[in-house]
Amino acid sequence: MKLVDLFFKGLEWLLVLLLAGMTVMVFANVVLRYGFGSGIDVSEELSRFFFVWLIFLGAIVAMRHNMHMGFDLVVTMVSPGKRRVLLTVANLLVLAMCALVLIGTLQQFHVNATNIAPVTRMPMIWVFGVLIPMSALVGLMAAIRAFGYATGRIQDAPEHDEEILE
């Protein structure tokens, strides 16, 4: 568990660095454009790439803390047994969507690896490749939750900030 906690702590720090980098690049570009009539082309492209990574890596952290938006009106109104069934089905659906994203990303891997970004000249797999760890890790957490609900090891929906892999 210590290794898992360390991994997620590192992921959270990476999110901080991506947000800071994106903020600095966008702010510097605004200052350069309005103050000096120029800009840094690379910063526009990299800030978009950082944003994509920030969103998908943030989805992993949000899944761990059960902080994704959800519609729980039906789940909170049914009995605990039915609630477990609904939460099992919901997590299985998340797992299925993650599997589709992972399969699609792997099928498009060669296309993205050979498609080059116009300014940075980076292969676009560096942008879209973040879908591989996102779909794998979110899918793994959804599978663990689905198994927990199905077997009764998890009785109710975890509250915010409760960690799934405890």
User: pLDDT digits over 56-115, tens only?
Assistant: 999 999 999 888 877 777 888 888 888 899 999 999 999 999 999 999 999 999 999 999
Q: Rounded to an integer, what distance in angstroms lies between the CA atom of residue 10 and that of residue 121?
A: 28
DSSP single-letter state for residue 68: S
What does the pLDDT look like over 14-41, one tens digit per residue? 999 999 999 999 999 999 999 988 888 8
For helices 41-64 and 2-36, the axis angle rounded to 10 degrees is 150
Confidence of residue 166 (pLDDT cuts 50, 70, 90): very low
Confidence (pTM):
0.84
- Determine the 3-state secondary structure of 149 from DSSP: helix
Domain ranges of the chain: 2-151
Torsion angle of alpha carbons 128, 136, 8, 166, nearest 10°? Answer: 160
